Chains A and B, each alone.
Chain A
Amino acid sequence: MAEKLLSRHNLAGVPVKAGDIVEARIDGAMSHYNFVEPVHQLAVQAGFPEGLPRVWDPDRIFILLDHHQPALSQELADANQLMRRHVERLGIKCFHDAEPGIAHQMMADYGLARPGELVVGNDSHTISYGALNVGSTGISRVDTLYVLLFGELWFQVPNSVKVVLEGHHPNYPIAKDIILYLAGKYGDDFAGSMSVEYTGSLVPQLSIASRMCLSAHGVEVGAKFALFPADERTREFLRGRTDKPYEPLEADPDAEYEKEIVLNVDEMPFMVAKPHQFGNVAPVDEVTGIKIVQAQIGSCANGRFEDIEIAARILKGRKVAKGVRFIISPASQQVYLQCLKAGLVEWLVEAGAQVVTPGCGVCQPKVGFLSDGEVCITATTRNYKGRKGSLNAEIYLAGPLTVAAAAVAGEIVNPREVFREL
């Protein structure tokens, strides 16, 4: 699929193979708060004192305040103000200004990335749209400036790794467990600079939300792209979100893969990444009993309806353990609204959880800092040392069910042993 994607977008107009360097035509560029500080400063540094002198196509650039809405400090408020000025000056039409949420979820919510397109963004989790068969990937800030000016960028055509997922989907999300299992078994760079292609009998059973979790985490296993096939679920998701035609990418039956990995989820336990690396993975049974003071569900990996729904289902009629801060951040306003309409927020708040404004804050040291010695279990993207403030805090990554179970128990537990209904 990656060879097809980059052949289709090759400015030279000829087919390319893995390893080739191409200069590619870009279909869409996402930029968040980086659009002001770094990109603007780079433009000044490049000899454009007023900032970017132009953009290549105001219809293909999507600006979302993302990390910085609402403004968390005076500096950010001032930066947001500067951003509004430049967006207006450059005539960029798609600007989500007064709307909190994670850029990647909003790109999906509003149908801004379509199957078969090549979409870039100056954020590592831009790779998320692979869930919708979009060739999307994170680029550097200088790359972003180049794309904004010319609508083109160089790429090395990646090798592909085929991940075959088999088995039956249970009635709770398992995407996080899948990617943690893969990172633990094959290494946190098993897809280093490659294109991951998901296939197998589980794929049609995976919701778009679960696919976005797996695609977002493509970057945590080193990937350039993390692609799903476009199927009926994809078309259903895009219906009403975009009216532009699209041409999905399909893998050839005889496509060549650098490696092939098979996982049957029926045999997979709940998985946890221990501090402080994504690949430091163990089955949950190896870490049960570890006391926690904070539990979190959110981010571009796990801030979607199904992630919050499973927490609400577990918490209904139960209470968050005394002394545990259970923080839930929907990925976008659209997701938040869906949760509200389904009554989930009421159950969560009654049980003692906190629901905070959509955005990236819970995945960073912005919302819910940890102090020395504190332990947090979280369904977010990363567990690096200092990710939530103190270098002496410990962060465990897990799926939303394992996180909700820990929030109720006050310690890491195997959800299946606590909740007989599963």
Chain B
Amino acid sequence: MSFDLNQVIRGRVWKFGDSVDTDAINPYYLYPTMEELKKHTMESYRPEFPKEVKPGDILVAGRNFGCGSSRPGLVLREVGIAAVVVESVSRLFLRNNISRAMPIFMAPGVSGIVKDGETLEVDYAQGLVRNPATGASVALRKFPPLIEKIFQSGGLLEFARQRYLAETAR
């Protein structure tokens, strides 16, 4: 479940616009099982996405990504999205990704440096996302130390487990 925040992620880009909502990402009302969700995620914006997305692809979107409900974007991980890179993200979607240690990066200006289908490289350690073909790059926002710690330990669930075990062992 965990991933290394400092490992460079490289993948083919799927681009989306502003204010992509959780009903589009995770239309669970209509498709309650993960198998069904995988066939329909993001189709309200790009009908070809669930059919053509490949493991390792990167999702790039505009501002306010994941607005709407508190539902998580687990399905994006299930279809193989290696990272979500956005101009800005709704706070609940961000909380979900932190608590489940799913790679998400805020990189204002990212929409301007990469086209749909091109390759994007995310280098958290260097604080950059870049387009290797053009050399263009923009800075990504570093997380505060506590959040980095949650990511590195595999999410808040693992955190909770360890804390509970430590408390009850006393």
Contacts and interface: CB of A to CB of B under 8 A. Distances in A.
Interface in A269-310: 276-279
Given A140-B70, A140-B72, A142-B99, A189 B90 contact: yes
Interface residues of A, number: 45
Interface in B77-107: 88, 90-92, 95-96, 99-100
A189 B62 CA distance: 12
Interface in B26-85: 27, 29-30, 32, 43-44, 63-64, 67-70, 72
Contact of B163 (A150, A219, A224): A150
A192 to B, nearest CB: 6
B68 A143 contact: no
B146 interface: yes
A334 interface: no
Choose among A21, A142, A384 the residue with the greatest number of B CB atoms under 10 Å from its CB. Answer: A142
Contacts of A42: 157
A192 B91 contact: yes
A40 interface: no
A142 B157 CA distance: 6
B138 interface: no
B144 A124 contact: no
A382 B23 contact: yes
A222 interface: yes
B161 interface: yes
A382 B164 contact: no
A419 to B, nearest CB: 33
Contacts of B168: 53
Interface of B: 19, 21, 23-24, 27, 29-30, 32, 43-44, 63-64, 67-70, 72, 88, 90-92, 95-96, 99-100, 144-147, 150, 155-161, 163-164, 168
Q: Which 5 A-B pairs have the closest CB atoms?
A: A142-B99, A189-B64, A384-B23, A385-B44, A140-B96
